[in-house]
Each structure stands twice: as C-alpha cells, then as structure tokens.
Amino acid sequence: MVLVHGTASSPARWAEMVNELLGDRAIASRYQIWLFIYNSGNPIVLSAMRLRESLQAVRRDVDPQGTDRALNQLVVIGHSQGGLLTKMMVVNSGNRFWSNVTQVPFDQANLDPETHDLASRAMFFKPQPYVTRVIFIATPHRGSFLAGNYVGKLGNKLINLPGGLAKTAAGLAKVDRDGSPARDPDRP
C-alpha cells in the first residue's frame, strides 16, 4: 500500500491512518505501508513521473527477479493532489499533455536531449500493471475552484520551479504553436 499526500502536506499527515491500519491485524498481516513524498509545488506531471519512477525503482531493488507477487498488486491511495498523482499510475494519457504545450508532434520537436528525455518521461503516461487498485480521498479530479481565486493566484506567483525544471520549461516554450519547431536565433 502506497500513501501519497496532498498539497502543502507531507507523509506525516498519514500518521494517524497508518497507526490505525497497522493496528488492525487483518490489514497489518496483508499489507506493507509505504509513503511517497514530493514537492507539491511542482507540476503534477513531474510529481507523477517521480512517483512512477520511484515505484519502479523500489520494485527493482526489493525484487530484482520480479518474482514477488505482492509487488504486482500495489494499492495506491492519494489524498487531494496526491490523488491526481495516483490517477496517473492507471491512465493512458496518449499525447494529451504534450498537445497542451504544442501542436508539434513530439518526435519532431526541436528539443535538446535533456529536455526531450524529461518531457518524454513526464508527459506520456501508461497504466502501470503492478498498480491493481487506486483509492482517492478528496481528489479534485475536475480541478479546484481555489486555483482561480486570489489565494491560488498568489500561490502560483510565489512558487518557483527548480532550476532544471525551469530550463526544461524554457526549452518547451521555444516550440512554436504553429506546428514548426522553434529556432533559436543564436544557433545556426
């Protein structure tokens, strides 16, 4: 069981639930509880990518041969924004996220290798076969009315992207919306 916290929170928010779950012998005998931590100020696709890659890495580390059946039956529980990350473990996004950035097909985008790699990992999701159940707690599947109010707008202005992500965002911004790769005027 993997617990994914919500916006402006941390795994500590799950403490009471973890204590209750582990106090139930039927649950404690069948489940191991893992907690995922992420910076909730980062874009959801980036945090979802990190959740997916973290789960893949821990599965490789814990069970290199892939023989532990329990690791192929993960239950992921997400609260609030964590539910949006959780949802990304079981959906096929196709090119929907990429299409929100540009109409240039991904394989034709003029991106440096680092930006291309990050964009391919963060914008294209497929269901993870080892996640067999997802549970959402107060998840804003259709967005949040708070995003457009004063507090939400102020929060957007106060959140800064990490350096590497800011560079990636700048690289993606260079892709024109008219269908042609953007050309850097400083490069031949």
**SS3 sequence, the chain?**
CEEECCCCCCHHHHHHHHHHHHHCHHHHCCCCCEEECCCCCCCHHHHHHHHHHHHHHHHHHHCCCCCCHHHHCEEEEEECHHHHHHHCCCCCCCCHHHHHHCCCCHHHCCCCHHHHHHHHHHHCCCCCCCEEEEEEECCCCCCCHHHHCHHHHHHHHHCCCCHHHHHHHHHHHCCCCCCCCCCCCCCC
149 & 132 share domain:
no
Cα→Cα distances 80→7, 87, 90, 118, Å = 7, 11, 17, 25
96 found inside a domain = no
Does 161 reside within a domain?
yes
Task: Indicate the number of domains in the chain.
Answer: 2
Same domain, 70 and 154: no
- What is the pTM (predicted TM-score) of this model? 0.80
Is 183 a domain residue?
no
Residue range(s) defining the domain that contains residue 82: 2-91+127-143
Q: Is 79 within the bounds of a domain?
A: yes
171 pLDDT exceeds 90?
Answer: no
Looking at the structure, tell me whether residues 51 and 132 fall in a common domain: yes
102 assigned to some structural domain: no
Task: Tell whether 112 and 172 lie within a shared domain.
Answer: yes
Give the residue with greater pLDDT, 186 vs 86.
86
pLDDT digits (tens, 9 = 90+) for 40-89: 989 999 999 999 999 999 999 999 998 999 999 999 999 999 999 999 99
Candidates 81, 41, 51, 48; CA nearest to 161 is 41
Residue 13 one-letter amino acid: R
pLDDT for position 178: 45
For residue 177, what are its two tokens?
């919306």
Tell me how crowded residue 173 is: count the other CB atoms within 10 A of its CB: 11
- The CATH number of residue 77's host domain is 3.40.50.1820
pLDDT at 185 over 50: no
Q: Give 12's contacts (C-beta < 8 A, 6+ positions apart).
A: none
Three-state SS at 93? coil
Position 98 in a domain: no
Residue 100 has pLDDT above 90, yes or no: no
Same domain, 68 and 13: yes
Q: What is the C-alpha to C-alpha distance for residues 145 and 27, in angstroms, rounded to an integer? A: 36
Q: What is the mean pLDDT of residues 149-157?
A: 49
Q: Residues 169, 134: one domain?
A: no
Q: Are both 65 and 39 inside the same structural domain? A: yes
Identify whether residues 159 and 169 lie together within a single domain.
Answer: yes
User: Are residues 35 and 114 both part of a single domain?
Assistant: no
- Residue 99 inside a domain? The answer is no
Residue showing tokens 């893949």: 56
Q: Between the CA of residue 49 and those of 55, 84, 123, 128, 132, what are the distances in Å?
A: 10, 12, 8, 12, 18
Residue 135 shares a structural domain with residue 43:
yes
Shared domain check, 57 and 135 = yes
Q: Are residues 65 and 135 in the same domain?
A: yes
Residue 38 belongs to some domain of the structure:
yes
